[in-house]
Amino acid sequence: MKYHFNEHLQNITRTRAGTPERLTSDALFLDRNERAVPYPPEVLDALAARLAQSRPNQYPELRPFYDKVAAWAGLAQNQVFITDGVSGAIKSLLEALAPSGANIVFPSPTFALYPVYARMFGIEPRIIGYSDEFQVDLTALEAALDEDTAFVFLPNPNVPIEGYLPLETISRLALHCAKFNAALVVDEVYYLFGGETAKDLIEDHPNLFIMRSFSKGFGLPGVRIGFVAGPAEIIEFVARTRTGYETSTMAAETVSYFLENMEIINGYVNEVKDGFRQLKARLDEIGIRHNGGDTGNFIYLDLKSPATVKTVITALRNQGIHIRGGWPAPFDCGVAVTGAPPEQMLRFFDAFKTAMSDHSISTAT
């Protein structure tokens, strides 16, 4: 049989995600910006009781869930479209508002699906970088726009470099984008860890969107729920890309439980912030340059060379601690470490310091 292959997918390679051992291992996984410790049994028991009252035998009734999400975000319900995490939000925006042949602008390094979706939809990716001081190159970003630019995607903060931009800068960028009829999309996936939200700017900038998920601050990446928000009439158009239902009954009930019990979420976020404060003090003592841990749940450690990165990652993995390297140059000289409560951050630091010492790695600047 002769299939009609989509030409834009021909040069894309995707692998199935996940390794089963992560589900049962007692290792410390600090490589994916997940919640680093499981929810306590009493929380899981209460969630199980909640789910036991749901009706997975029926199709999802999502209006109450939309009400909860919109109320938490401080937006009108018709400004919100529920998606499969932030990745689903990106995909829906491109499907709805970025014709083939358009271009999108975003910083690098960043979330891996920005360039993947660009290729998938026949869109040109225009990539700008960061300075040695971990700041996004705003001059290059603004210069990258032209009449074919559909979106500027701005992860704020980004990963592994926070590169956080204040609301005044975002407002100015939205005005610049409007000159080219381009939309500015602020990726707020790490919202709750310290950054301000740009959602109140939507009223003043009809070309502004925000995206969030319940993966990071809420610690629910396995649930796969996020949303995109913007001007109501445009969100209605973007929402036409939905499948039969935006999410499942069980996923919506899980997120609803935590929205109704925000003390659980806020308590863990505060533990992570405490962990970062202690870790940064220790890193400063041994002369490790770092960035992050202020508006995201990760920190980047500058180890000065790719060889050191490889050595440290291997040494820590042998002790059951996973961190992430493999970033594009010039950030291939460092690793990203997910934030965790003080106990887990101390476990990481002790293993890291030992690895640096055992391999005679200098921390001198």
User: Does 21 have pLDDT greater than 80?
Assistant: no
User: Does 365 have pLDDT greater than 70?
Assistant: no
Mean confidence (pLDDT) of the chain: 95
Q: Band of the pLDDT at 192, cuts 50, 70, 90?
A: very high
The CATH number, out of the four listed (3.40.640.10, 3.40.430.10, 3.40.50.720, 3.30.1310.10), of the domain defined by the range 54-259: 3.40.640.10
What is the average per-residue pLDDT within 127-156? Answer: 94
Q: What is the per-residue pLDDT for 362? A: 65
User: Does 251 have pLDDT greater than 60?
Assistant: yes
Residues of the chain with CATH 3.40.640.10: 54-259
Q: What is the per-residue pLDDT for 300? A: 97
Q: What is the per-residue pLDDT for 241? A: 96
Angle in degrees, 0-180, between the axes of helices 342-358 and 262-285, rounded to the nearest 10? 30
Residues of the chain with CATH 3.90.1150.10: 20-39+262-358
User: Does 364 have pLDDT greater than 70?
Assistant: no
Q: Which CATH class is domain 20-39+262-358?
A: alpha beta
Tell me if the pTM is above 0.85: yes
Q: Band of the pLDDT at 32, cuts 50, 70, 90?
A: very high
